[in-house]
Amino acid sequence: MEALLSQFTFLSDQALQDKNFDPSTIEDLMKLFEIEAYKSWAAMELEQENEVKEAQVAMRDAENYLDSVMEEAMDEFRRFEEEMERMAKEELESLEKSAETERKMGKLMEKAATIASKRRQQEAELKLIEEETAKRVEEAIQKKVEESLNSEEIKLEIQRRLEEGRKRLHEEVAIQLEEKKKLLILRLGEKRNKLEKKKKSWKKCLKRTGGGWKKLREGKLWSNSRERRNDIEN
């Protein structure tokens, strides 16, 4: 192309200086210009087509690689999902078993507390019987003393002591029963609260992981890769 330009410059100068210059020479040169321009345009178009084909091949390779990576990621995610579901089920089953065990233990403790309270009640009744017996014995002794001594002061002292002993016994038995009952109720409440907290935490975990899995199952990433491929081919 540079040679043709220099030739055109030379012929132009010659045409200005030489009156007998043949214009057909410049016409032949212009035809050569047209041929050279067409060749360069065809070469550029061919090069552009080759670049487009190479870009399409590269895009196809990238899409194939992306598809393979996505398939591997989906397989890995499925395995992870199955493992998480299995672990969650095992943990839930263990929690249910421990809850059932704790419930049975609570019932046993309630039964034990009931039995203990019954025993305490029986012991209190026995003590009352003993006190009543002692009272009757003391009354009999008192009668004998009264018959023998006829002393009003001794009678009053004996009655006062008997009343004080009876009151102390009743108060001690009632305090012991109330303390044991409160302790058992507190232990059962703490165990139930722990079990409820564990169940709520696992339910929240399952809800959080459920949203991400649905999006991957809907195939949004797959549809985006197909749309890109169609745009490139068009």
Please state the rounded mean pLDDT for residues 94-111.
86
**Domains identified in the chain, total number:** 1
- Report the pLDDT value the prediction gives residue 220, as an integer from 0 to 100: 44
- Report the pLDDT value the prediction gives residue 216, as an integer from 0 to 100: 44
Please state the rounded mean pLDDT for residues 185-208.
75
Range of the domain at 206: 2-15+22-233
Give the pLDDT confidence of 120-137 residue by residue, as tens digits: 888 888 788 878 887 887
pLDDT at 1 over 50: yes
- 234: pLDDT confidence band, cut at 50, 70 and 90? very low
pTM of structure? 0.30
Please state the rounded mean pLDDT for residues 62-87.
89
- 21: pLDDT confidence band, cut at 50, 70 and 90? low
Residue scoring higher pLDDT (152 or 59): 59
pLDDT at 38 over 50: yes
HSE-CB at 120 with a 13 A cutoff on CA atoms is 19
Lowest-pLDDT range, 15-19, 48-52, 168-172, 191-195? 15-19
Amino acid at 23: P
